Amino acid sequence: MKRLMTTLTVAALFVMAAAHVSAADLKPIQTQKTKDVVVTLANESGQWKQGKNEFVLELTSAKDKQPIDASKVSLNTSMTMPGMAPMIAGATLSPDKTPGRYLGTITFPDSGTRQVTVTWDGPAGKGSTKFSVSVR
């Protein structure tokens, strides 16, 4: 029973940590507007850094600001470096409880400017956008 209580406490802490990420204290890393979709990338510091990063990706309609149900979403990054093959890193994304919002993690082995590509495909349509983000 004691072990169960410990497990439940740990689980509750994880839920609280997840809730904390979805709190209003997120700072935008990048907001990118396409013809019909606004893509927002945010985390607690407002920037990506070298190493592991947690972030939130949000897709909303450019017309009415409503969340977009994009069942398939991906975020990939690449960095071109002179004399080298581009460095590629993709994010792991999982849907949040809030529609149109995804919790992501991505790891960068070094700093530098990344070309970011976000693609989506769902009932509300499909599309993609590209922008650059500097990794500190």
Q: How far is the CB of 83 from Cu ion (least distance, A)?
A: 12
- Pick the stretch among 12-20, 43-51, 62-70, 73-81 that binds Cu ion (CB under 5 A): 73-81
| Contact set for Cu ion, span 15-44 (CB under 5 A) | none
| DSSP calls for the chain | -HHHHHHHHHHHHHHHHHHHHTSS--EEEEEEE-SSEEEEEEESSSSB-SEEEEEEEEEEETTT--B---SEEEEEEEE--TTSPPEEEE-EEEE-SSTTEEEEEEEESS-EEEEEEEEEEETTEEEEEEEEEEE-
Tell me: does residue 133 bind Cu ion (CB under 5 A): no
Tell me: does residue 87 bind Cu ion (CB under 5 A): yes
Tell me: does residue 106 bind Cu ion (CB under 5 A): no
- Pick the stretch among 49-57, 65-73, 108-116, 118-126 that binds Cu ion (CB under 5 A): 108-116
Tell me: does residue 86 bind Cu ion (CB under 5 A): no
Which residues in this chain contact Cu ion in the complex, by CB under 5 A?
A: 79, 81, 87, 110
